[in-house]
Structure 1
């Protein structure tokens, strides 16, 4: 990269443009899914960190702002009201092949979590469609994440421990989650 910048040094505007674009290009390269072995090993050792994703899936638990874990009951209700992680609090985080876009599959019933356009969040779908996809944003420190439903563009909210909803226009404290990787 230094050689490229040196060649562009004759034009100050080009050099500034390269330096300005470099962080964005590197971020895209780091977050784009890959199949390399080191990415697979990284995913099994701890947290995702938003880099070197692979085309597999992760078993995760999701902790809401109330420090309770998100749970998918066998009938599909999704709430943030459990203080320990058992089978109902585990999900499979699945890359969908679209940049930053994922789906969740509940371990409790084997169904995909759906973010319905009316804001209801339920784990009762047998396949991944638009309603089952969400965009995963880093919420600030590589541990806190914000989820935005593709079905309606709204943020997923824990609403003080009640059922999760996809109704928030703003990503406030109830829309931030810690993802724990197993």
Structure 2
């Protein structure tokens, strides 16, 4: 199986590579469109600021490529947010894969939300064998509100979509690669889709 991690200068890539290796696979780090198109599975990571990350995607033409991919694609953290229509962070237009706009937590709560929080209302093959209310590791100041494409919910000030699915596209607000055995199982489930 050929697993590609999209390398566009805005990802915490090392920990994802290690998690995939622990599952017994290896991944290629690339921004080459042909290599990405030829992959069986694509992981779209993201750490950092949305408008800068989108600028990097546009410079490499990946902003037009990613929405056309036909194989399973997993966006993680900022990767998931960039797959939405728009994010308030840097007033950034996203890839439009998920039909939801990303908004900022209000000043009533500490941002970023940083640490462990529960996921529930699990609704996807991504969560096969995962029990409700497992703890996942999150670091974020912006979130996707609950919507038709939500496949997991987390509560921090409000209930929001901590995972999304649309056809072959999946996104997690949490970091499966930093969420211990349960996160690794979710990554493993993605690799088996």
TM over 0.5: no
Shorter chain as denominator, the TM-score bin is under 0.3
Q: Bigger radius of gyration, 1 or 2?
A: 1
The TM-score, its normalising length taken from structure 2, stands at 0.26
